[in-house]
A and B are shown apart, each in its own frame.
Chain A
Amino acid sequence: MPERSRTHHPIILQKCCQPRNRPACITVTVLGFVIAAILLAFAAFEQDESSHATLRLVSVIFRHGDRTPTETYPTDPYRDGSAWPEGWGALTKKGMLQMFKLGEFLRTRYNGYLSELYYPKDFLMKSSANDRCLMSAQAVLAGLYPPKGMQVWLPDLKWQPIPVHSTPRHLDQLIVMKKPCPRNEQELRKAYRSSVITELNHENGDLYDYLTMHTGQNITNVTAVEFLYNTLEIEASHGLPLPEWTRTVYPEKMRHLAAISLTVFTHNDILKRLTGGPLVGEIVQNMENKRRGSLKPDRKMVLYSAHDITIVNAWRALGFTDLIKPDYGASLVFELHTTRSGTSYEVKLLYLSNTTTSHLIILNMPNCGQPCYLDTFLRLLRPVVPEDWDEECQTTIE
């Protein structure tokens, strides 16, 4: 476009630059330049504008930032906790910075779409009731919404209060999934006894024995391996030398089992529905409401401050089967777009591995095709979303 306007200028000049109508000529020339400049500006910003122009709703499930271990083991050289002044399972300063960076990343990516001023109707932050998640949510908000203009409330303070909503663990049937659900517990017990897991336990019998011997605690299944792996990983990442015995098993062998452990909670279709379904269901419902124009308040972005298992639950409920072990700040991003013609809606799924990268991995929703239309997306997910979670939780068989 800009090129074409430039080639037009000489023609205009030739045609009209006669002495008698010079003022008109100058006017036309100036106007021509102005129009050209505007077109140029549009062309330059087109890239950004267009990706935001189709965007209607963003939902993100992210894992909290760097934390201290939630537990230790009998022979742990760091068992006394003196290495962790923040206490067990707490968000560290490093974790706060990771979360702040995640907030800045979201600001950069969605600036222009999401106002720099915080408007409660645009934006919602939900969190697991866990301290490290509540704090992570706040740190993300510090990066996403530094006070601007009229929202600067205390000179020199680059922070403003923004609400973080949560539900106590024992009532939470959205993120933490700790509200009692007999059916889920029953199915989970079955999953641990399933042939896949028992065979895996059998195959790794030697490893379990090795770990049991060296840790001083019974390691008999993948979840015990996962917990131990997490503790070792955190100690190592904080520069604490690990004991000699870990060399042969940490990280590779253990990491694989830890990733498998995360899948047990969504081992079968019932578990996927009861454990991953509610959160995916809410995100999907918001998309559907957005399309219908009935999303109230009419949000632009909803964030969920959560755990690694929350991401894996949603991941598997969506139908992904790849093993993942979400890092700190890992984010599963759902973008709802209108198609370029504006007639229908499509869903884009993206994954951020951690906060050291700003590269979002584009995910192909299984069986949805490209583009993944909202209608197809909704149809695919219908079996995963519980209609009445409470009721489905009660229907135990056996």
Chain B
Amino acid sequence: MSANFLFFISFGMILLERTSRYFFVSCLTEDQANLGSLVFVSALYRHGDRTPVTSYPTDPYNNVSYWPVGWGQLTNIGKCQHYELGQWLRQRYSKLIPEAYSPEDIYVRSTDVDRTLMSAASNLAGLYPPEGDQKWNRNIDWQPIPIHTVPEKMDEILAGKRPCAQYEAELLRVKTSPEVRRYNEEHADLYRYTSEQSGNKIHDAESLEFLYNTLFIEELYNFTLPNWTKKVFPEQMMSVASYSFTIPAKTKLLQRLKIGPLVGQVISHMMQKREGIMKPDYKLTVYSAHDTTVANFLMALGVFDPQSPPYTSLVLVELWKNDHEEFQVRVLYRNSTKFRPYNLAIPGCAAVCPLEKFADLLKPVIPVNWEKECKMGIFSDDFAFNSLAILALMVNCILAVLLVFSVVFGIAYWRKQKVSSGYCYHQLRQDID
């Protein structure tokens, strides 16, 4: 009963979310909004141009020799893209962050993946070219700057790869929800066609996105795609690929467990900044991650427009302090080098949102105790687990009954054996007689 109830609630939440989501593009300039001065920025970006993470069985380019740097690695183009993004950040925040690198100003964290670590390094090369006294090698216009990371399996904050049972259960529920099931049914023909042609098993939007991504990169590198792709690539596949990015953080619970820790850290940094207790007193924290990280983050903020986040796409969360000592938050999204970043207003607040209100609105997606919330209590309201628990309970009952029966029968048999052996003995004697 309770499982059903919860199910309806979460379904309702999905509906509510879909209808209430809007994408606010503002043209406010800094003066108009009376922002005051910028005090702190959190930046989350996707790595730069990379080679395909994997190919597919019938891929004519199914050979690593087409990609000399290896699968899923950052390319020279990717390095340049991030170098330029670093220069762009330098220009945009020239007042906020001094030109000379100081570990007290900036903290960089990356997922523990080659391409994100390398993107962060290229980005820093653009952001902090060694100036004057910091030049350490006259032949090299670069200086080392620490990039912190955490092995993926231990990282619940940025990589989101630390195991979380509750998340997996909720994800399964979302994937089998009527809405997602209906979506997959509507695209069953596309899945069947692409499965047959590619040799991949494609059964949902996520598995299609993998294939789409490989084709996208191959086309980007001017490889002639097989003829079968013409029918479905890019248009049809692209829309499904875009949709796939809404799945990992579709519900509030998914958001809370997958990306909530990062949202929580960003907000907690801003709170510390307001209280003046941040140590060191950073001005910029940088997160180097993946398309899914960017999408999940925007989903949690309620401002995701379903599109694959492109290379070097960037989310900025800026904290401003005005003359009245009021702290305000502005969220920006940069997904193109050609346009200025978009201002994003989180649902329920303006594009420039008071910090307090910003934190309040996002409270539901921030876990209080991530580890505890990931655990699945034995009699939790979790549907998937409850059915499992009931099943286990039933099996146990049956086993227990069987055990009792076998003991009873065993004793009865043993006693019968004793009796019958006496009888046999008796019979033997009769024979002798």
Chain A positions within 8 Å of B, measured between CB atoms, are: 87, 90-91, 93, 96-97, 100, 119-121, 129, 131, 134-136, 138-139, 142, 150-151, 153-154, 156-168, 171
Contact = CB atoms under 8 A, between A and B. Distances in A.
Nearest to B76: A153
B142 A156 contact: no
A165 B154 CA distance: 13
Contacts of B68: 150
A96 B141 CA distance: 13
Given A87-B103, A96-B137, A171-B154, A164 B147 contact: yes
Given A160-B79, A161-B79, A163-B118, A129 B148 contact: yes
A151 B77 CA distance: 11
Contacts of B139: 158
B150 A162 contact: no
B129 to A, nearest CB: 10
A135 B144 CA distance: 5
Contacts of B112: 165
Contact of A134 (B70, B142, B146): B146
Q: What 8 A-B pairs are tightest by C-beta distance, nearest first?
A: A161-B121, A138-B144, A163-B117, A135-B144, A153-B76, A161-B118, A134-B146, A93-B136
A376 to B, nearest CB: 33
A154 B154 contact: no
B74 A161 contact: yes
Contact of A159 (B76, B142, B151): B142
B149 A166 contact: yes
A157 B141 contact: yes
Interface string B250-294: 000000000000000000000000000000000000000000000
Contacts of A157: 125, 140-142
A154 B78 CA distance: 11
A120 B140 contact: no
B297 interface: no
Contacts of B148: 129, 134, 166, 168
A119 B67 CA distance: 12
Interface-central residue, B69, B79, B125, B136, by most chain A CB under 10 Å: B136
20 contacts: A87-B103, A96-B137, A96-B143, A120-B69, A120-B73, A134-B148, A135-B144, A138-B144, A142-B140, A142-B144, A150-B68, A150-B76, A157-B141, A159-B125, A159-B141, A161-B118, A162-B121, A163-B117, A168-B148, A171-B151
Contacts of A93: 134, 136
Contacts of A168: 148, 150
B114 interface: yes
Chain B interface residue number, banded: 35 or more
B342 interface: no
Given A119-B70, A131-B146, A154 B104 contact: no
B142 A142 contact: yes
A164 B150 contact: no
B83 interface: yes
B144 A91 contact: yes
A191 to B, nearest CB: 30
Given A96-B137, A157-B141, A167-B151, A162 B118 contact: yes
Given A120-B70, A163-B118, A165-B117, 8 more contacts: A120-B69, A120-B73, A129-B148, A131-B103, A135-B144, A153-B79, A154-B79, A159-B125
A96 B122 contact: no
A233 B410 CA distance: 82
B350 interface: no
B142 A165 contact: no
Contacts of A129: 148
B150 A135 contact: no
A163 B114 contact: yes
Contacts of A121: 70
A5 B112 CA distance: 57
A136 B143 CA distance: 11
A87 to B, nearest CB: 6
B80 interface: yes
B14 interface: no
Interface-central residue, A160, A163, A164, by most chain B CB under 10 Å: A163
Nearest to B83: A154
B145 interface: yes
B141 to A, nearest CB: 6
Nearest to B141: A157
A121 to B, nearest CB: 7
Contacts of A167: 150-151, 154
B247 to A, nearest CB: 29
B118 A97 contact: no
A154 to B, nearest CB: 6
A372 B170 CA distance: 55
Interface-central residue, A156, A164, A168, by most chain B CB under 10 Å: A164
Given A87-B103, A134-B147, A168-B150, A161 B125 contact: yes
Contacts of A138: 121, 144-145
A166 B120 CA distance: 14
A160 B80 CA distance: 11
B354 to A, nearest CB: 33
A164 B142 contact: no
A87 B140 contact: no
Contacts of A153: 76, 79-80
Contacts of A158: 139-140
A168 B147 CA distance: 11
Interface string B221-251: 0000000000000000000000000000000
Contacts of B141: 156-157, 159
Contacts of A156: 141
B398 to A, nearest CB: 36
B122 A161 contact: yes
Contact of B150 (A91, A97, A159, A171): A171
Interface-central residue, B74, B119, B137, B150, by most chain A CB under 10 Å: B137
A142 B73 CA distance: 19
Nearest to A158: B140
Contacts of A120: 69-70, 73, 114
Interface in B90-141: 102-104, 112, 114, 117-119, 121-122, 125, 134, 136-137, 139-141
Interface string B145-174: 111111100100000000000000000000
A7 to B, nearest CB: 46
B426 to A, nearest CB: 62
Contacts of A159: 125, 140-142
Contacts of B144: 91, 96, 134-136, 138-139, 142
Interface string B36-63: 0000000000000000000000000000
Contacts of A139: 144
